[in-house]
Chains A and B, each alone.
Chain A
Amino acid sequence: MTVQSTEVASGLTTEGRQELLRRMILMRTFEEAVLRDYHADKSPGFDIGAGLIPGEMHLSAGQEPVAAGVCAHLETRDALTATHRPHHLAIGKGMNLRSLAGEIFGRETGLGHGRGGHMHLFDPATHFSCSGIVAEGFPSALGQAFAFQRAGSRNVAVAVAGEGAANAGPFHESLNLAALWKLPVVFVIEDNDWGISVARAASTSVPSNAVRAVGYGIPGLRVEDNDVEAVHAAAGAAVARARAGQGPSLIEVHTLRLWGHFEGDAQGYRPELAQVPDRDPIPAYEKRLRDAGALGDEELEEMKASALTQVADAVEHAKAAPTPNPDEARKYVFVEGRIS
Chain B
Amino acid sequence: MSQATAAAAHRPLPREPEPGTRRLNTAKAIQEAIASQMAADPSVFVMGEDVGAYGGIFSSTTGLLERFGPERVLDTPISESAFIGLGIGAAVEGMRPVVELMFVDFFGVCMDQIYNHMAKIHYESGGHVRVPMVLMTAVGGGYSDGAQHSQTLWGTFAHLPGMKVVVPSNPYDAKGLMTAAIRSDDPVVYMFHKGVMGLAWMAKNQRSIGAVPEGDYVVPIGKARVAREGADVSIVTLSLSVHHSLDVAEKLAPEGISVEVLDLRSLVPLDRGAVIATAAKTGRVIVVDEDYRSFGLSGEIAATITEHDPSLLKSFSRVCVPDVPIPYARELEYAVLPTSARIEAAVRKAVAA
Contact = CB atoms under 8 A, between A and B. Distances in A.
Contact of A139 (B84, B97, B123, B161): B84
A142 B128 contact: no
A138 interface: yes
Counting chain B CB atoms within 10 Å of each CB, the highest count among A79, A139, A145, A150 belongs to: A139
Interface string A45-74: 000000000000000000000000000000
A89 B317 CA distance: 55
A30 interface: no
A157 B128 contact: no
B86 interface: yes
A23 to B, nearest CB: 24
A144 B90 contact: yes
B77 A176 contact: yes
A170 B127 contact: no
Contact of A112 (B93, B112, B125, B164): B125
A136 B126 contact: no
Interface stretch (A115-123, A222-230, A235-243): A115-123
A312 interface: no
A333 B218 contact: no
B315 interface: no
Contacts of A144: 89-90, 92-93
A299 to B, nearest CB: 37
| Chain B interface size range | 35 or more
B85 A142 contact: yes
A339 B266 CA distance: 13
B83 interface: yes
Interface residues of A, number: 46
Contacts of B95: 143, 146-147, 150
B23 interface: no
Interface in B123-148: 123-130
Contacts of A124: 125, 128-129
A165 B342 CA distance: 49
A324 to B, nearest CB: 9
A139 B88 contact: yes
A146 B123 contact: no
B184 A139 contact: no
B314 interface: no
B89 A122 contact: no
A125 B93 CA distance: 12
A177 B221 contact: no
A129 B92 contact: yes
Given A140-B117, A176-B79, A334-B186, A122 B125 contact: yes
Given A136-B117, A147-B95, A142 B127 contact: no
A110 B126 contact: yes
A133 B81 CA distance: 13
A111 B128 CA distance: 8
B124 A339 contact: no
A340 interface: yes
Contacts of B185: 335, 338
A174 interface: yes
Contact of B117 (A113, A131, A334): A131
A115 B129 CA distance: 13
Interface in B72-113: 76-77, 79, 81-95, 97, 109, 112-113
Contacts of A326: none
A335 B122 contact: yes
B153 interface: no
Nearest to B120: A120
Contacts of B220: 339-340
A110 B92 CA distance: 20
B180 interface: yes
Given A112-B126, A136-B81, A136-B113, A340 B89 contact: no
Nearest to A110: B126
12 contacts: A113-B127, A123-B128, A139-B82, A139-B83, A140-B89, A141-B89, A150-B71, A170-B112, A174-B82, A339-B220, A339-B221, A340-B220
Given A136-B116, A177-B83, 8 more contacts: A110-B126, A139-B82, A139-B85, A143-B89, A144-B93, A146-B86, A332-B122, A340-B218
Question: 7 smallest A-B Cβ distances: which pairs?
Answer: A139-B85, A143-B89, A147-B93, A122-B125, A113-B126, A173-B82, A140-B89
